[in-house]
Chains A and B, each alone.
Chain A
Amino acid sequence: MALLLKNHLKLAKAAIKENRTRSFLTCLGIAIGVASISLILSLTGSISQLIHDEIGEIGSDLLVVRPSSTKDSVTSLVEELTSANSFQKSNLTVSDVKAISEVEHITAVAPIAVSTNTVSSEKNTFSSVTVLGTNLDFIKIEPLSLHYGAFLTESNHENSVVLGHTLSLALFNTINSTVGKTITIMGEKFMVVGVLDEVEKSISFDNVDFDNALIVDIDSLDKITGSTQIQQINIKAENTDSLSQISSNIERTLTEHKQGDQNFSVAYGEDITHPASSLFVVISGMLTTVAAISLVVGGIGVMNIMLVSVAERTHEIGVRKAVGASSRNILMQFLFEALILSILGGFFGLVLGYTLAFLLSIITPFSPYVSLEIIAISFLTTLAIGIIFGIYPAIKAASRNPIDSLKHYR
């Protein structure tokens, strides 16, 4: 058997070499699919890495509560894709935050409610600015520092606002003398009390770009928007030792508080790096789908070429069968050819994908994320494509009648 496998491999190599252009174009189809998949996986990986690093900065004593379930990534992906805007579906409320704050061994609880609104200063007006509603505990949890002024405090949290670094520049063309000025959010006037330091990271586990956001008290936000949706509740524990205990305590308290509604999840440690943002998941999901479609198209290309190859080599099949090849031998011969075509394509695709990822890393904050996992996924995908799209032509070749095939001429 091993001898035959070697022979199949040799034959496949010869057949691919014989039709160089044809094989190259077929490989290209697979390569494009694999390139896009490895590019997407590499970028997703790099984003997770960024968030992971951030968690490291914050410290490992962080827990987060998110609406719906993050346990099963496939189900949650489907949920995210099927709901038009999951911001609207969040079932976490301000009273939940209060309930959580009563759990033992935690030091701070801060809700994250994100919405986009039109914001204007006396000079400029911007539509769709990220407005983050939270409470005073927020600054205890986040590793943010203030460039100027102060964060929201007990005495001034009503109708006060802390601006992101870039947003401050955009609204007032300055950072330093912004404090004390007023901005208008949906017709309500807010006073600027502080400006954040530049963060230079567009991605965080809160799914907020702090440079371009402004932070207000959640009650104030509730007043102007009518209904506030809390996407996430950040919790800081006293220490890192009993996170699982605290996590289950929070879960129990919250379930009790919400009368049995369990559409939320508590995550800590590595689990937080799971991309929380629905938008992020939706976009990467869509890209993956598109890549998968292109991979299927590439697979159809392999099938097409293999069918041509089988038709061209009918006579050869007849001869091989006459001198003792079994149907299985013929099947393996053609399956190997399809497999080598797709694996070759997969290899080129991986190289292409990473080249693109490196090029992209020059102009974006991403750093290409190379892992054995991605290589293994690409390899297995191409293997599967090769088998799925190679089996039909191979079966067709194997089922040829030797007597009829021998009469067949090119």
Chain B
Amino acid sequence: MSLCLEARQLACERDDRWLFQGLDLTIRSGEIVRIEGPNGSGKTTLLKILSGQLGDYQGELFWNGAAMKDAREHFLANLLYLGHAPGIKAGLTPLENLAWYQALSGKSNQDSDNEESRLDALANVGLAGFEDVPAGQLSAGQQRRVALARLTLTPRALWVLDEPFTAIDRYGVAALEQQLVAHAQSGGCVLVTTHHELTASPLLRRIALA
């Protein structure tokens, strides 16, 4: 398996200000790519463009050699995006939250195997015992963990993570970092922004925005 997300001459203008211009980048299997830059330099915008959420940019995107607009469905089926907000409904339990995400990935959430995998995913992020507590009663860090449980629940090759370490405690950070490395080692690809200093690794590549 190999994947390749390529951007050619990417440029984005927000209300008369160029966030970035002439950006060329290629992201391949087995890489952890960290987007760096000061606040307001367009990191989140770049991640949103690269994950296909924003349409108003200049330049071209290619997914495995095909133009993004032709390969969009295939791209989305292999993408897992975690944004600033965790995307967890306060009124639903962690299990119910994950059930919806599982269904969006095309797996029936009523299958008992699938329920098993939801429980496993929650146990993986250290939330065993919190399966049926409404997510609104969990702490910010725990809600973030519910969102991170999606990484194991719905396996996707490309992870696009915007500040995934926010609100996570020290042990959680170490575990998540390991998970990112493991994902890249097994042929996946991680695109990440973070203020947290990632441990140097041959897989890690940095892209700086001015």
Chain B associates with chain A = no
**Which residues of B come within 8 Å of A, CB atoms?**
none
